[in-house]
């Protein structure tokens, strides 16, 4: 038997507030916005392949071979 659960934006925001991580998430949003704006001003672009290569090198250098599942 399969049932569908509907999760609204309000549900997500409520859980976010209850988690106490709002300041941390807002800081991340602000940082990402600043980085994006400054990269655009400086005409910095990156191709998906280049980004994937850098991520692969980072994983290799940090011996990150598997994704750990968090429950």
pLDDT tens string 24-36: 999 999 999 999 9
Averaged pLDDT, 3-31: 94
Asked if the structure places residue 4 within a domain, the reply is no
pTM score, two decimals?
Answer: 0.56
Q: Is the separation of the CB atoms in 59 and 65 below 8 Å?
A: yes
Structure confidence at residue 68 (pLDDT) = 62
Asked if the structure places residue 25 within a domain, the reply is yes
Averaged pLDDT, 15-27: 94
Structure confidence at residue 66 (pLDDT) = 66
Asked if the structure places residue 70 within a domain, the reply is no
- Which residues span the domain enclosing 17? 9-61
Asked if the structure places residue 67 within a domain, the reply is no
Asked if the structure places residue 55 within a domain, the reply is yes
Sign, CA torsion 70/7/26/58 = positive
- Determine phi and psi for 21, rounding to 5 degrees: -105, 10
Averaged pLDDT, 29-45: 96
Asked if the structure places residue 17 within a domain, the reply is yes
Structure confidence at residue 67 (pLDDT) = 63
First to last CA, the chain: 23
Q: How many domains does the chain have?
A: 1
Asked if the structure places residue 3 within a domain, the reply is no
């Amino acid at each position: 038997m399969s049932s569908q659960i509907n999760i609204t934006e309000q549900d997500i925001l409520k859980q976010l507030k209850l988690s106490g991580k709002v300041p941390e998430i807002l800081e991340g949003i602000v940082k990402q916005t600043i980085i994006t704006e400054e990269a655009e001003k400086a005409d910095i672009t990156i191709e998906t392949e280049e980004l994937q290569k850098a991520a692969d090198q980072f994983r290799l250098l940090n011996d990150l071979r598997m994704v750990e599942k968090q429950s």
